[in-house]
Amino acid sequence: MNEGKGTIDALLNQLATEAQQHPPRSYERRRMLHLLIDRILKSGRLLRPGQGYKLPASVYEDVYNEALSNTLMEICQKIDNYNPEKDVMAWCNFLFSKRFTDSYNQSIRQGLTYIGRDSETPTIEDLDYFIPAPERTSESQELQKLIEENPGNLFTKDHVKGQPRATFQFLALAKIWQDQKWKDISSELNVPVSSLCDFFNKRLKEFTPYFQEYLQN
Amino acid sequence: MQINNTMESLTFTVPLSRAAHQIATQFRQQQFNSQQGKQVYLNTLSVYAVNFYLKCMGFEPDWKSSDSFNPMMQKFTDVADLNVKHLGKLECRPVLPEQQIVSIPLEAMNQRRGYFAVQLNEKLTEATILGFIKNASTEEVPLTELKSLDFFLQYASQLENAVQLRQWLQHTFETGWETIETLLSPPKIAWRSQNITLDSLTAINSDLGVERIKKFNLEPTGEQIGLLVRLQARTELEMGIGVELYPTNHHIYLPQNLQLMLLDEYGETVMQAEARSTKNIQLKFSGESGEVFSVKVALGETNIVETFVI
């Protein structure tokens, strides 16, 4: 057991020291940092801080994850602060306890620690049961109406080069409200998908502030 | 070394904290229907994970300026992009637990520097970045075709440190890239070097394009050469490029057998020239915006490589 422990420490210390020896933004430093983080997570040597706080399990996991993320980020960004005479895991767990306290305090401020079950984050399955708010449905209808009405020919003023039918109006209605695939629109209009998307995205960015304003009024 | 063997399959796991879910929820609530809402949720978690990874690795992602952070863009396109300084747009596609492919919608293929596949677990508590590909030719890429993140780190670091030629047209130059005049006559010893070196080199009319030269040492012989790059914008996208080597330090001729090579983004040699009692050698070619190439100068065992982005 002791030997295994020593080997992990030696490897982690070696990775951290090597990372320090290469300049920031170099491939070599990044490679060592990537390995270091990977090995820290697999080391089985991370503490479980904050056991004394008696948090509900789901809240604990959440505070733990956030603190761990922040710790790993800090190790990467402050790798030059690592003291090679000490073990990486000692440094890491020291930072981890501090970040855990930060995350805990923050979740208290946000009132998350008492909500319990409702505060659980969704699973993939839960996402299928999402029901959009009624105002979203009406927003969708309003936008559709706006694009169909085409005030001042705003949405038909230009088109994809060589295909007059491929206006923003046509593309938006087909893609969003008729739920057609780009591939099908492309073969119907005989225009490559990349040209359609390029044109569509550019116009969309142009119209975004207008749409937002329209929906607010 | 033990470390080398493990890089090939190395992935990166990011814990999905409440902060990640809060952003995803906020974006999902903007969507018109549940299918779109789900996609936006998964896309957001993927981008969150890659954003975290890139920050850890010392890159400079800018999520807020990306389409994937814009609720209106999310409504109209299935997008999971992330803008990264010096790299451009990287797409971060979510992969569901049992999936063997990563799906990349056609609308997310435009102007991307590459694609990450990000596997989410059923409980959405962690995201694992499985790998990266530079080019997607189909909408469904088998996970087995992904390159490792080690490949990404190498590619992205090279790109990030590359000379940004498009900025030259706005007169922004990386350190070391001087005007010919500056290189020819360093202020204090101007009286000594005038008319002695680089006499074959005359500045071209600046209206026609931009040119800059950088000095390189070819260790261990200590030979010095000047690498000159000339640019000329031909169209909005296309740029004419000339790369030339000149002797410096009072030499008239380039070292014998000095080689100048043009490498494509995969490191393959596509053009080559060699010096034999010559005053300069050059290569001319053209490229499109976003393309990457490297120039390699080799003398015997020694070589230097400089990478450029058009």
B30 pLDDT higher than 70: yes
Kindly state the tokens that stand for A20: 């320090």
Per-residue pLDDT of B70-102, as tens digits, reads 988 998 899 999 999 989 999 999 999 999 999
Residue B46 sits in the same domain as residue B136:
yes
- Strands of B238-247's sheet, edge to edge? B210-218, B223-233, B238-247, B281-288
For residue A129, what pLDDT is reported? 86
Ramachandran area for residue B28 (φ above 0: left; ψ -120 to 50: alpha; else beta): alpha
Which of A73, A132, A194 is opposite residue B32, by nearest beta carbon? Answer: A132
For residue B200, what pLDDT is reported? 43
Chain B nearest-CA residue for A12: B3
Contact list in B for residue A33 (CB cut-off 8 A) is: 56-58
Contact list in A for residue B19 (CB cut-off 8 A) is: 66
Name which of B165, B187, B298 is nearest B239 in CA terms: B165
Average pLDDT over residues A68-79: 96
Residue B177 sits in the same domain as residue B109:
no
> Domain tally for chain B?
2
- Decide: residue A40, CB within 10 A, 0-12 exposed, 13-18 middle, 19+ buried: buried
CA distance A111 to chain B (A): 13
- Decide: residue B206, CB within 10 A, 0-12 exposed, 13-18 middle, 19+ buried: exposed
Average pLDDT over residues B229-243: 90
Which of B32, B72, B97 is opposite residue A140, by nearest beta carbon? Answer: B32
In this complex, is the C-beta atom of B3 within 8 Å of any C-beta atom belonging to chain A? yes
> Which of B161, B194, B212 delimits the end of a domain?
B161
H helices within chain B, ranges in order? 2-6, 18-28, 34-56, 71-76, 149-160, 165-168, 180-184, 190-193
For residue B166, what pLDDT is reported? 87
- Decide: residue A124, CB within 10 A, 0-12 exposed, 13-18 middle, 19+ buried: middle
B201 pLDDT higher than 60: no
B105: CB partners within 8 A, 6+ apart: A182, B78, B139
For residue A5, what pLDDT is reported? 63
Please tell me the pTM assigned to this model. Answer: 0.84
CA atoms of B197 and B186, how far apart (whole Å): 12
Residue B68 sits in the same domain as residue B101:
yes
CA distance B76 to chain A (A): 7
Name which of A156, A55, A153 is nearest A101 in CA terms: A55
Do you know the residue count of chain B?
310
B5 pLDDT higher than 60: no
CA distance B201 to chain A (A): 35
In this complex, is the C-beta atom of B160 within 8 Å of any C-beta atom belonging to chain A? yes
Name which of B212, B218, B230, B220 is nearest B176 in CA terms: B212
ipTM summary value:
0.90
Q: If contacts are CB pairs under 8 Å, which of residues 106-145 in chain B contact chain A? A: 106-107, 109-110, 120, 122-126
Domain that holds residue B81: 2-161
Contact list in B for residue A27 (CB cut-off 8 A) is: 153-154, 157-158
For residue A73, what pLDDT is reported? 96
CA atoms of B149 and B187, how far apart (whole Å): 46
CA atoms of A7 and A42, how far apart (whole Å): 13
Per-residue pLDDT of A116-148, as tens digits, reads 444 568 899 999 888 888 888 888 999 999 999
Residue B127 sits in the same domain as residue B219:
no
Higher pLDDT pick, A176 / B7: A176
> Which of B100, B134, B161 delimits the end of a domain?
B161
Which of A34, A137, A211 is opposite residue B57, by nearest beta carbon? Answer: A34
Average pLDDT over residues A174-181: 90
Residue B242 sits in the same domain as residue B259:
yes
Which of the four pLDDT bands, split at 50, 70 and 90, describes residue A4?
A: low
A88 pLDDT higher than 50: yes
Residue B197 sits in the same domain as residue B144:
no
Which of the four pLDDT bands, split at 50, 70 and 90, describes residue B131?
A: very high
Percent of chain B whose pLDDT exceeds 70: 89
Average pLDDT over residues B208-224: 83
A104 pLDDT higher than 60: yes
Which of A68, A125, A132 is opposite residue B31, by nearest beta carbon? Answer: A132
Q: What are the boundaries of each domain within chain A? A: 5-109, 137-216
From A150-159, B137-146, B184-193, the region with the lowest mean pLDDT: B184-193
Check residue A94 and report its DSSP letter: H
Residue B16 sits in the same domain as residue B156:
yes
Chain A nearest-CA residue for B3: A35
> Which of B143, B161, B179 delimits the end of a domain?
B161
CA atoms of B209 and B188, how far apart (whole Å): 29
Contact list in A for residue B153 (CB cut-off 8 A) is: 27, 30-31, 34
DSSP string, B73-102: HHHHS---EEEETTTEEEEEEEE-TT-SEE
CA atoms of A93 and A47, how far apart (whole Å): 6
B210: CB partners within 8 A, 6+ apart: B168, B169, B171, B230, B231, B232
For residue A96, what pLDDT is reported? 97
Residue B10 sits in the same domain as residue B137:
yes
Higher pLDDT pick, A146 / A215: A146
Sign of the alpha-carbon torsion through A29, A30, A33, A35 = negative
B188 pLDDT higher than 50: no
For residue B34, what pLDDT is reported? 87
Which of A76, A183, A208 is opposite residue B57, by nearest beta carbon? Answer: A76
In this complex, is the C-beta atom of A115 within 8 Å of any C-beta atom belonging to chain B? no
Are the Cβ atoms of A66 and B37 closer than 8 angstroms? no
Per-residue pLDDT of B150-182, as tens digits, reads 999 999 998 898 999 988 988 889 989 988 877
CA atoms of B269 and B261, how far apart (whole Å): 6
Residue B47 sits in the same domain as residue B143:
yes
Residue B151 sits in the same domain as residue B203:
no
For residue A19, what pLDDT is reported? 97
In this complex, is the C-beta atom of B30 within 8 Å of any C-beta atom belonging to chain A? yes
Are the Cβ atoms of A107 and B18 closer than 8 angstroms? yes
Average pLDDT over residues B275-299: 89
- Report yes or no: B93 and B104 within 8 Å, Cβ to Cβ: yes
Which of B15, B76, B153 is opposite residue A65, by nearest beta carbon? Answer: B15
Are the Cβ atoms of B37 and A130 closer than 8 angstroms? yes
CA atoms of B53 and B56, how far apart (whole Å): 5
Number of other CB atoms surrounding residue B98 within 10 Å: 7
In this complex, is the C-beta atom of A99 within 8 Å of any C-beta atom belonging to chain B? no
Residue B222 sits in the same domain as residue B269:
yes
Number of alpha carbons in the 13 Å side-chain half-sphere of residue B304: 17
Chain B nearest-CA residue for A69: B15
